[in-house]
Amino acid sequence: MPSPYRALFAAPGTKGFSAAGLLGRMPLSMMGIGVVTMISQLTGRYGLAGGLSATIALAAAAIGPQISRLVDQYGQRRVLRPATLVALASAAGLLLAAHFRWPDWVLFVCAAGIGSVPSLGAMIRARWAALYRGTPQLHTAYSFESVVDEVCFIFGPIISIGLSTAWFPEAGPLLAACFLATGVFWLTAQRATEPEPHPREKHGGGTALRARGLQVLVATFAATGTIFGSVDVVTVAFADERGHKAAASVVLALYAAGSCVAGVVFGLLHFKGAPARRWLLGICVMAVSMIPLLLVGNLPFLAVALFVAGLSIAPTMITTMSLIEEHVPRAQLTEGMTWVSTGLAVGVALGSSVAGWVIDAAGARAGYGVPAVSGAVAVTVGFLGYRRLSRPAPRRGGTVEQHSEREERHVA
């Protein structure tokens, strides 16, 4: 591991909460696809499978920010454990309802309950921020976390689908639930690195979404999530039309691998100037990278195009975390990070649905028009909201870029 990353773990407790975060985030990429695989195998009803997966995503988008808001107020341990128990009980109910062919409404109720799963990525990033706020190490820490996210998305679906198809249908979601339980309870046992809670009366109440800069980020990432959701669905259909459906998982893994590589490299770099400019550039590059997908005619070229497209994802997400710190009060940092994930989740659900409709109507290749249009929408929202992002809210503090600029002025 390059020395800047190795230096991150010099602080006591960092290895422990990072490992717990990796385990706890695996369900993010395993549960939805695991439920689709399980239901399609048990019932053969892909419509039901997709509906349940969308229900989980939308429930998590609605409940996640509220859980993170409570975490900011009361602390990770007091909130994450009961929320996780609700998600685990709901997952158990879903597995039983699917196995014993209970009514569909029971499946949907349980799927909605799984939405109470906490945003472990936001919890881990909040711990890094508490340790390294105002230092260059925080940029490296956010880069490392983006790499961890991509590792989960590379291996999670492969593990989940593989277990459900090779062992028994419920195996994928069951293992995802085990990962969630282990990760959350291991993380919350580590009290020394837990960020200090901020009772509501200390910062006047209200939601972090009142921050105008955060509103721009959430809206932009709703469009970005539409890119991700549509690319997944269209790629599977594209591979299926060419008689190699199984190759879709490898092609999509390369998409995540491109982001992983870029995240590692980006974390080794240190930047000057406003992060809003880099963020807008990242959104533009992400949108432009969707255009070649309209032109590919076979899987090898598609794999190359998606790998290149993935190179813009992690740097954009890393810069987003710095912008959240600029525009969201410190006492609402976890909630602010979760709102961005919520925007992504809503976009993923929308992108999956729209892409499926386009594929049915015009074929898989035409389906790549959905991420192309979504990219254009993201760029438009980014440009319209750029002025909000380029003017940080006063007294937020804590970004790498601000710290570097202060150091440069001091040296001068």
The residue out of 197, 227, 262 marking a domain boundary is 197
In the predicted model, what is the mean pLDDT of the chain?
A: 82
Same domain, 221 and 163: no
d(CA 169, CA 35) in angstroms, rounded, equals: 9
Same domain, 398 and 320: yes
| CATH number of the domain within which 279 lies | 1.20.1250.20
For position 95, what pLDDT does the model report? 94
Residue 398 binned pLDDT confidence (cut-offs 50, 70, 90)? very low
Q: Which residues contact 339 (CB under 8 A, 6 or more apart)?
A: 65, 208, 209, 214, 217, 218
Question: What residue type is 204 in one-letter code?
Answer: G
Same domain, 187 and 61: yes
Q: Write the pLDDT tens digit of every residue in 218-265.
A: 899 899 988 988 887 788 778 878 887 667 778 888 888 888 888 888
The residue out of 166, 197, 228 marking a domain boundary is 197
For position 46, what pLDDT does the model report? 63
How does DSSP assign 219-248, residue by residue?
HHHHHHHHHHHHHHHHHHHHHHHTT-TTHH
Same domain, 48 and 149: yes
Per the structure, the count of domains in the chain is: 2
Same domain, 140 and 215: no
Q: Write the pLDDT tens digit of every residue in 308-328.
A: 999 999 889 888 887 887 777
CA distances from 63 to 71, 86, 339, 341 (A): 13, 12, 10, 12
The residue out of 175, 197, 219 marking a domain boundary is 197
Q: What is the mean pLDDT of residues 51-77?
A: 85
For position 215, what pLDDT does the model report? 84
pLDDT tops 80 at residue 204: no
Identify the residue with better confidence: 32 or 85: 85
Residue 367's SS3 state is helix
Same domain, 266 and 154: no
Q: What is the pTM assigned to this prediction?
A: 0.75
Q: What is the mean pLDDT of residues 291-304?
A: 90
Same domain, 14 and 102: yes
The domain containing residue 210 runs over which residues?
206-412
Structure-token pair, residue 339: 């709102």
Q: Above pLDDT 90, what percent of the chain?
A: 27
Same domain, 401 and 303: yes
Same domain, 211 and 241: yes
Which of 109-118, 196-205, 251-260 has the weakest average pLDDT?
196-205
d(CA 411, CA 120) in angstroms, rounded, equals: 38
Same domain, 324 and 247: yes
d(CA 310, CA 289) in angstroms, rounded, equals: 8
Q: Which residues contact 114 (CB under 8 A, 6 or more apart)?
A: 31, 56, 59, 60, 87, 90, 91, 94
For position 186, what pLDDT does the model report? 95
Same domain, 78 and 170: yes
For position 206, what pLDDT does the model report? 67
> Angle CA(48)–CA(53)–CA(59) in degrees, nearest 5?
120
Same domain, 45 and 98: yes
